[in-house]
Amino acid sequence: MQLYPLKFRPIYKKRIWGGQKLREFFNKDIPRFEKIGESWELADLPDDKSVVANGQLAGQTLGSVIEKYPAEIMGDRNFSGPFPLLIKFLDAEDVLSVQVHPDPATCKRTGKGDPKTECWYIVFAAAGAVIYKGLKKGVGSEKFAEAIKNGDVADLLEQVPVKAGECHFLPAGTAHSIGAGLIIAEIQTPSDTTYRVFDFNRVDDAGKARQLHIEEALESIHFDPSGDNLSVTTVGRLVDCEYFKIDKGHQAKDFEMLLSRGGVKCLVILAGFGRILGTDGGLVEFKAGDCIFIPAAYEGAMQFAADTQYLTVTI
């Protein structure tokens, strides 16, 4: 069959720190009156698999489509699954826990979890919003472990004021947290392994605290980098790491861009709208909040309305 740009059904995740702003910002049909912290736009994990929402392949999972059409989807990339990206929108109505994700060496050494490197593109930041990114200089494992006991872990992290349009890269092993009042587009490797070390002493509706993973976190944290040497970018090539590359696009006026055969890419639409016209006459429309999966073999043209902003993610 003639492959085409794929759109997916979002997977909504309730989170203790979530809210309702994904409906406001991206018109997501999230459950009302529930704390929805994450909308997974593209996923290929064992328990969470994106399902195609448009065209002839509607109802099939991303993984099954790639299995049927590996060369057409992935090009000359040798693919063994799962698809190596997880793309989300986050609504941090409240602060997230202080946490860390392991790197490949830690996963191999401990036999636990899956590695996770990520980046955060700030879509919206309320006045005074911050993130916590990396440890302050001089913080070692003993000092950090003592802070866990004392409940003041957050004081050892670099607190970074943020604003819309920034992209913050967080390699695996970076201790971090997201402050309240932020809408974020998160691009990461395909892992949901999170080790929490401090959750600001909060409890859920049943009065129960969330599980902490102190031993695993202390095994995973890199105690050498500090937050002031972790990159932040705002234009052009935002991230260029071994797992993915991210470029920011902003079309100030109506614009058409040709899509030729090449590597697979994902477009995360941050603002505006447009459509994709295939050489076969097919049409796929997109708007803010969409994640568009472009197969490697696809040819066509993207037509952007004025003031459309987007991220192009390649692997």
Residues 29 and 169 placed together within one structural domain of the fold: yes
User: Same structural domain for residues 58 and 98?
Assistant: yes
Q: Domain span at residue 301?
A: 245-314
Same domain as 196, residue 57: yes
Q: Is residue 240 part of a domain?
A: no
Residues 151 and 287 in one domain: no
| Distance, CA of 80 to CA of 258 (rounded, Å) | 29
In a domain, 1, yes or no: no
Are 266 and 200 in a shared domain?
no
Same domain, 221 and 276: no
Domain annotation covers residue 4:
no
By CB atoms closer than 10 A (0-12, 13-18, 19+), residue 260 is exposed
Domain end call among 234, 269, 292:
234
> Is 239 a member of any domain?
no
Same domain flag for 111 and 201 = yes
| Selected catalytic residue, list 196, 202, 261, 275 | 196
Per the domain annotation, does 55 fall within a domain?
Answer: yes
Kindly state whether residue 2 falls inside one of the protein's structural domains.
no
Residue-wise pLDDT tens for the chain (315 aa)?
Answer: 789 999 999 999 999 999 999 999 999 999 999 999 999 999 999 999 999 999 999 999 999 999 999 999 999 887 777 899 999 999 999 999 999 999 999 999 999 999 999 999 999 999 999 999 999 999 999 999 999 999 999 999 999 999 999 999 999 999 999 999 999 999 999 999 999 999 998 988 889 999 999 999 999 999 976 666 677 889 899 999 999 999 999 999 999 999 988 899 999 999 999 999 998 889 999 999 999 999 999 999 999 999 999 999 999
Q: What is the pTM of this model?
A: 0.95
Same domain, 178 and 97: yes
Q: Check whether residue 103 and residue 210 sit in a common domain.
A: yes
Structural domain ending residue among the three candidates 166, 199, 234 = 234
Query: Into how many domains does the chain fold?
Result: 2
Same domain, residue pair 224 and 291: no
- Domain membership flag for residue 275: yes
264 and 223 assigned to the same domain: no
CATH at residue 62: 2.60.120.10
CB 191 within 8 A of CB 113: yes
196 catalytically annotated:
yes
- Picking from 187, 214, 234, the residue at the C-terminal end of a domain is 234
33 shares a domain with 103:
yes
